[in-house]
Structure 1
Amino acid sequence: MKILSELFLWQITIVPWEIQELLEILSSFGLLFGVISSVILLSRASQHVHRVNTQLNAAAGQFQDHIEKQFDEWRLTPTEKIVALLVIKGFSNVEIARLRGTTESTIKTHVTSIFRKANLTSRLQLVVCVIEDVVTAIPESAYA
């Protein structure tokens, strides 16, 4: 009321000064409680973000380990493993050839060999197969 009366130049003397002081003190406590609550909630949110990042890092490490195991089961050569990873990442044969410093036909040969060893017929099947195998292999405790 006091702020409104000062803002609009009203003369209000209905509320005794003791009540105005009490309202201001209660408002100050309310603001202080709000600040403390915000700090506590931000701290908890920060802890949650840290825990989720730790879990993601653990899952990412396990992801790489399981991809390597899958490639070993398929008996891929070291070159085929690199090519398979680049295929999974979405690179085309031309891009892979450029990155590897080889010809596109060499990359096609590697991709065909990967498909044959993995009993697959397309890039999409390769990606889906690897992702499904990895997701089912990672224990649920890694996400908890």
Structure 2
Amino acid sequence: MIEARVIRAWAAFFTAERRAATLAAIIMVQGLCALFFIADVIIDLGEGDHLDHLHMTLEAAASLALIGGMVFLMLELRRMLARMQEMDAGLRAARGRMGEVIEGFFDDWGLTPSERDVALMILKGFENKEIAEIRGAAPGTVRAQSAKVYAKAGVGGRAQLLSLFMDELLSGEAPAHGAG
């Protein structure tokens, strides 16, 4: 569950990066178009044309519109990049907060290093069989360690263990461990 949210957050971040790159490319194209029209107006003025001709007026108006659009898009790009930085900082803070919450609970429960590994993998969504394969342990050993984690945490199983951490993170309060 937690991993899916992290993946969605990173996907949104990369989508925002693509949007920023697209905006930057549009700004560059608009800049080139504006330069073309401005250069054309300057050349036409040098050849004796006047701004009262419809052609010249349209080119001047197009240049101004493109420059206005560039300014607007640059402001939007700047705002979007600032928002991306805020989101990234929030994600880093949430990750750090989650780590603090997990370590605090594990310390309060007095988990052994092996039990900590098993508990962390349970929180990441791994099943006992997968945990056993990753740790190179027997499935029975992982089941026994899981049972010890649940007993020390004062919960009946995986869902309740995860619920402890989610409640802590969603409460927005200082860690209040000692649930067991």
TM over 0.5: yes
2: distance between equivalents of 1:137 and 1:109? 33
Of structures 1 and 2, the one scoring higher in RCO (CA 8 A, sep 6+) is: 1
**RMSD over aligned Cα, in angstroms?**
1.6
Residue aligning to 2:79:
44
- Partners of 1:59 and 1:138 within 8 A in 2: no
> How far 1:89 sits from its partner (Å)?
0.8
2: distance between equivalents of 1:101 and 1:132? 32
Instruction: Look up the equivalent residue of 1:51 and give its one-letter code.
Output: E
2: distance between equivalents of 1:18 and 1:29? 17
TM-score, normalised via structure 1 length? 0.78
- Partners of 1:63 and 1:138 within 8 A in 2: no
2:143 to 104, 108, 122: 108
Structure 1: gaps (5+ residues): 1-16, 140-144
2: distance between equivalents of 1:90 and 1:58? 22
Matched, 1:63 2:98: yes
Instruction: Look up the equivalent residue of 1:42 and give its one-letter code.
Output: L
- Partners of 1:83 and 1:96 within 8 A in 2: yes
Residue aligning to 2:125:
90
> How far 1:137 sits from its partner (Å)?
5.0
Q: Based on CA coordinates, which of the two structures has the bigger radius of gyration? A: 1
Structure 2: gaps (5+ residues): 1-51, 175-180
1: distance between equivalents of 2:127 and 2:94? 27
Matched, 1:79 2:114: yes
Q: Specify whether residues 25 and 137 from structure 1 end up closer, same or farther in structure 2 by C-alpha distance, changes over 3 A only.
A: closer
Residue aligning to 1:24:
59
Matched, 1:118 2:153: yes
Q: Specify whether residues 115 and 135 from structure 1 end up closer, same or farther in structure 2 by C-alpha distance, changes over 3 A only.
A: same
